[in-house]
Copies of this chain bind each other. A is one copy, B any other.
Amino acid sequence: MIKTPYLLFLGDAPDPLAAKVAQGIRDWRPENAVGQLRLPGCKADLKLPDMTLEEARGAGAQTLVIGVANRGGVFSESWMQVMEDALQAGFDLAAGLHTLLRDQPPLVALAEAHGRSLHDVRLPSVKYPIADGRKRTGRRCLAVGTDCSAGKMYTALAMDAEMRRRGMKSSFRATGQTGILITGEGVPLDAVVADFMAGSVEWLTPDNDPDHWDHIEGQGSLFHVSYSGVTMALIHGGQPDALVLSHEPTRTHMRGLPDYPLPSLEALRDTALPLARIANPDCQVIGVSVNTAALGEAEAVACLREIEDRMGLPTVDPFRQGAGRLVDALPA
C-alpha cells in the first residue's frame, strides 16, 4: 500500500505522453494528486499546482510518485537529486519503471536512514497463495480484449468512477503498474510467478459485500499468444460475474504479432465466456467497450451502432460517452 496523497514528479518529460502515468493518476484519482514537480525543460503539464518538495509536504503529500518514463535505463543526475531530496524531506518514493529504485544505493541508504519506503510497483511485494477456487462473496467485472492495449484498464476505471458517482459500492483492482500507482495498491500480474498468478488475483479481489463490485484491470488477450496465460489466470482467479468485451476497431493485426489476425468480437465472446463459466457458472457478457480514439465522431458513432446491432449488447466508447450504459447492464 502506497501512502497517499502524492506529489507527481514529471521530470524533464519530452512530451505529454511520457507523463501518462501521472496523467492517469490526475484523471482518475485527483484527490491523490496535490501537485506536480517539474524540472527545467519539462514539456508535460497536468494543470496541477507546481510545488517544491517542501510546499507539497506542507500540503500533506506523503509519496513522490515518478509519473514519467525515464530514458536509457538509468536515472539522470537531476532525477537522483530530486529523489534524494524527497527522502530527506520525508517522502516515500514510488515508481513503476524497469529501472528500480531499490537498485540505486544512494536511495536505499537514505530510505533506511530516514525510515522511508521505496515502492517499485513492477515487482510483487507479497507472497501470493496458490488459487483455491473458492467462491467469494461480492461481485466482479473483468474486461477481456480482442487484443492487448484495447482499452481494458480505461473501461474498468470508467465503470468504477461511474459507480462511485452513483453512490454504489465499487473498487478498481489494479493488475499493472499504471493502475497500481493510480490507486496505491494492486498486483503487478505480469511479474508474478506462474504458479501463483490466479492466486494473486484471488488475493486482490477478496470476499466483499454482496452489492460491491470489483472492476478488475484486464491484461493481455486470450488471442495474444505472448500473454494469453496471464489473461487466463485473470479469468479464473477473478471468477468474474460480468465480462466486458474490449475492442480497438482499426487494428490490422495483433499487437506486435504481424502474422496474427484479430479475432471477431463473436469469437472473443464464444472463447472467453465458457472459460469464465468454469470458475463462475453465472458469468455473463454484459457489454462491449470500443476504443474509437482513431475514428472521427461520425465514424465512431457508426462503428458503435454496427457493433451494438450485431452483438445485441450495449456498446460504448467510455471515453466519448462514459460507462453509464455498461454499469446499467451489470446484473443486479
CA distance A311 to B136 in the complex (A): 36
Task: Give residues of chain A (236-260) contacting chain B, Cβ–Cβ below 8 Å.
Answer: 236-237, 239, 254, 256-257, 259-260
A229 sits at the interface (CB 8 A): yes
A residues 268-288 near B (Cβ < 8 Å) are: 271, 274-275, 278-279
Contact indicator B222/A228 (Cβ below 8 Å): no
Bound complex: CA A198 to CA B221 (Å): 13
Residues 207-237 (chain A) with a chain B CB within 8 angstroms: 222-223, 225-233, 236-237
Task: Give the interface segment out of A25-33, A110-118, A188-196, A316-324.
Answer: A188-196
Tell me whether A130 is interfacial, beta carbon within 8 Å.
yes
Residue A225 contacts which of B131, B192, B271 (CB distance < 8 angstroms)?
B131
Q: Which residues of B contact A189 (CB under 8 A)?
A: 194
A138 at the B interface (CB under 8 A): no
Taking residues whose C-beta sits less than 8 angstroms from the other chain, chain A's interface range is 35 or more
Q: Note all chain B residues with C-beta closer than 8 A to A254.
A: 133
Q: Judge whether A305 is part of the interface by a CB distance below 8 angstroms.
A: no
In the docked arrangement, what's the CA distance between A236 and B232, Å? 12
Q: Collect the chain B residues with CB atoms within 8 Å of residue A225's CB.
A: 131, 133, 198, 236-237, 239, 278-279
User: Which partner residue on chain B sits nearest A267 by CB separation?
Assistant: B274
Name which residue of chain B comes closest to A230, CB basis. Answer: B194
Query: Which residues does chain B contribute within 8 Å of A257, judged by CB atoms?
Result: 132-133
Complex CA gap A130/B229 in Å reads: 12
Asked if A98 is at the interface of the complex by the 8 Å CB criterion, the answer is: no
Beyond A194-B194, A225-B236, 5 additional pairs, beta carbon < 8 A: A130-B226, A198-B227, A226-B236, A228-B275, A271-B274
What residues of chain A have their CB less than 8 Å away from a CB belonging to chain B?
130-135, 189-195, 197-199, 222-223, 225-233, 236-237, 239, 254, 256-257, 259-260, 263, 271, 274-275, 278-279
